[in-house]
Amino acid sequence: MLRLILLVSTTLTALPVYGIGEPKLPWLFLVREMESSCFVEKFDVASSNAEKLLRLDDCPDDLFVAKNGTRIAWVSDNSYHFRSLSGKKAPYQKIPALNLDFDAVRSSLSVLPPEDVLNKYGPWKMQVSSLGMDPDRRALVHASLHIPSDDTYDYLFVLDEGGWKLLRERHCHRFETSCNFDEMDARSVRHSSWGFEWKVWQNKVLENPYFVGESVKDIPESRLDYREHSRRFSIDEQIVVLQYGTASGPDTGATMLFNVRLVFGEFEPFSLADGQCSASLVGRYILVRQFWGGTLELRDMGTGDTVFGPLKFAAWIDRK
């Protein structure tokens, strides 16, 4: 049985202050295990403060955050849980979950995988891609059916009088960049952890107040146009160099990231991730995920230290 504890005002000890007071910097929503419990927290880069929002007995498979950061939702005990983060009373709502067995809703759908695929690989079960609410505060669930070709069939359901009803449906091809529905006002933390504009190789980093310069080295005759990058930052009166490699994806041409390291003065490079990885940078804090090994951590670039230790999942959520 799920035990829910609301933690509205708890904060961690503040880290070194970011210093520019910029209200548009995103929050980091994160989920981590600690002291045999699961904590949902919100980290504010500008103040270096972390606020504990929830403590659960067990970590959910995912966390869904409204686009403006005012509501979180998760799945547990065959129910959908919604908690508002606006207002002092923090309203909480629990809703019976949609039956994710594909055969239970198949008759109401018109966008379907090929019949031979359905017959060969079934039985099928959909996965929850997002949980949100429409303007009338009716619950929305984005359910996805993944097939062997890596395509998905996506269905948006709304909780109306009498139960769950189909609102939208679509076929999402493997290399499509977004398979979201416009009506959905929330996003997955686990599966969309890397705010695209905040990735370490983006030009957005050039606006970082700690950034002071960069250099790029092309590797001749390398596969996938591999390049080595060094971006320099002045943090706490020292120069910190962020090193990483990039290459172009063989199928889509999308940027792939490799071998993220920090260099402090004359010391040997300090590895944050070896091999292919993903990393995003806001202020002095870098969120790094190792693809092989599964580690996910937020680190302070001024020291290289981990801020929270290992994370279950985390995502930058923009403020509106």
Q: What is the pLDDT of residues 24-44, one digit of tens each?
A: 789 999 999 998 899 999 999
What number of CA atoms fall less than 13 Å from residue 188's CA on the CB side? 19
Name the pTM for this structure.
Answer: 0.86
Distance CA 60, CA 30 (A): 12
CA-to-CA distance for 50 and 86, rounded, in angstroms? 17
Below-70 pLDDT ranges, the chain: 1-23, 88-90, 177, 192-194, 221, 320
DSSP 155: E
Contact indicator for 238, 223 with CB cutoff of 8 Å: no
For 158-203, write each residue's pLDDT tens digit: 999 889 999 999 999 877 767 889 999 999 998 864 578 899 999 9
Collapsing DSSP to helix, strand or coil, 52 comes out as strand
Cis peptide leading into residue 123 (ω within 30°) = yes
Residue with tokens 């097939």: 147
Predicted confidence at residue 292, as pLDDT, reads: 82
Q: Dump pLDDT digits (tens) for 74-102.
A: 999 999 999 999 876 668 999 999 999 99
Confidence (pLDDT) at 163 = 92
State residue 6's pLDDT score: 43
Q: What's the pLDDT score for residue 239?
A: 96
Q: What is the DSSP letter of 14?
A: P
Name the helix (H) or strand (E) containing 148: none
Burial bucket for residue 102 (CB in 10 Å: 0-12, 13-18, 19+): buried
